[in-house]
Amino acid sequence: MGQCALGFKANTKLGEIGFQASGKLGESNTETGLKVADADTKTPLKLADTDPKTGFKVADADPKTGLFAESRIEHLVSFKYEDIIKAADTPIDRSSKDKLFAQLHSGVYLNQKKQKYWIDKESGLNCFMLFSKGLSINWVDDERYWAWRLIEDPEEGRLEMAELLKVSWLEVNGSLDPALLSPKTMYEIVYILKLNEEAYGWESPVTLKTRFIDGEEIRKLSLLPSFREKWIEVHVGDGEPDIKMRKSSLDNKPRGQWIELVAGEFYTNPAIMKHICFSLCGYEGGKWKSGLLMKGVVFRPKKHE
């Protein structure tokens, strides 16, 4: 009760992926096998320019066709996706790279559809969705308070979602290993939920919390009945708070449609070997709440404003 669910771990270490081509004009690079494009001998070739959107080094495009010598997406994600899709619910089509990456772009369900993984087609960065079944929800197995609904979703097909019947203490927790995400990227954590027309009890805002925590500490805390008391804003030294919190009002949100609540954001630093924990809580005022449908939580790269 009140636990921070532990996500799955990847066994590989993070690292930046890119490749550089070098050599004389018209010759093939011995390491990559790529042919160096003809160019003005007075102008040095830029064969390892950095993509301004992702920060990764990629091969220059052919000046005539605008195409890259090899799949840019493959080089951006090949260090990661093979380990992640080992947990795929259905077979992966590897008959061609086009079919493989088309499947990865559209999304792959993991661990009995508790999670979804996909590669953002524009940036080549990893994204995750933790559905209701992949979260830890207080009282979710008590039919007096929550119900599992099989919903026909336009994006996910038939998907089990948790529907709130009534609670006075709302708490939805989860965690993910940032090593599953693309390195050196600013991510945001977003709750996807819906309020039905009869929803009530949302006059007080909900509290959204994020923190980094050791995997071992997650397992210990999940066994403590006083776990919710740990979710307080604690400052360590003069740095940022150990737990970051923000409040959001649901009372003024539209009914009957999916809404997004940003729980927080964080930068994926390979040097930080901790899980990111997140929580949505609603217990101020002790009012009973009802009418919330929880789809899940998305981890996606934050778009530049």
260 with 253: CB under 8 angstroms? no
Pair of tokens at residue 42: 């007075």
The verdict on residue 70 lying in a domain is no
In this predicted structure, the answer to whether residue 180 has a pLDDT above a threshold of 60 is yes
Is 1 part of any domain? no
- Indicate if the pLDDT at residue 300 is higher than 90: yes
The verdict on residue 26 lying in a domain is no
Residue of 15 and 32 predicted with greater confidence: 32
Domain presence at residue 154: yes
Domain region containing 270: 108-301
Q: What was the pLDDT predicted at 16?
A: 31
Quick one: pLDDT at residue 216? 60
Is 137 domain-assigned?
Answer: yes
User: Which pLDDT score, from 0 to 100, does residue 79 have?
Assistant: 52
Across the range 130-140, mean pLDDT stands at 94
Residues whose CB falls within 8 Å of the CB of residue 5, separated by 6 or more in sequence, listed in order: 134, 135, 136, 173, 174, 175, 222
Name the residue among 206, 212, 177, 215 with its Cα closest to residue 299. Answer: 177
Question: Binning pLDDT at 50, 70 and 90, where does residue 215 land?
Answer: low
Per-residue pLDDT, 42? 40
Cα(28)–Cα(12) distance, rounded to whole angstroms?
Answer: 31
Residue-wise pLDDT tens digits, 54-82:
343 333 344 443 333 345 555 555 457 88
Provide the CATH number for the domain around residue 228. Answer: 2.60.120.260
Confidence of residue 104 (pLDDT cuts 50, 70, 90): very high
- How high is the pLDDT of residue 72? 52
Top-confidence residue, 33 or 169: 169
Establish if 51 belongs to a structural domain: no
What digits encode the pLDDT tens for the residues 222-272?
433 333 333 333 333 334 446 788 999 999 999 999 999 999 999 998 887
The total number of structural domains in the chain stands at 1
Identify whether 288 is part of a domain.
yes
Residue 18 has pLDDT above 70, yes or no: no
- Number of Cβ within 10 Å of residue 112's Cβ equals 11
Residue 10 pLDDT: 34
pLDDT at 284: 82
Residue 98 CB partners (closer than 8 Å, separation 6+): none
Band (4; pLDDT cuts 50, 70, 90): very low
> In terms of Cα–Cα distance, which of 219, 207, 222, 305 is closest to 264?
207
pLDDT grade, residue 304 (50/70/90)? confident
Residue 184 scores a pLDDT above 70: yes
What pLDDT is recorded for position 56? 38
Band (pLDDT 50/70/90 cuts) for residue 142 is very high
pLDDT over 80 (residue 211): yes
pTM: 0.70
pLDDT at 228: 39
Q: How far is CA 120 from CA 69, 102, 107, in A?
A: 21, 11, 9
Q: Is residue 22 part of a domain?
A: no
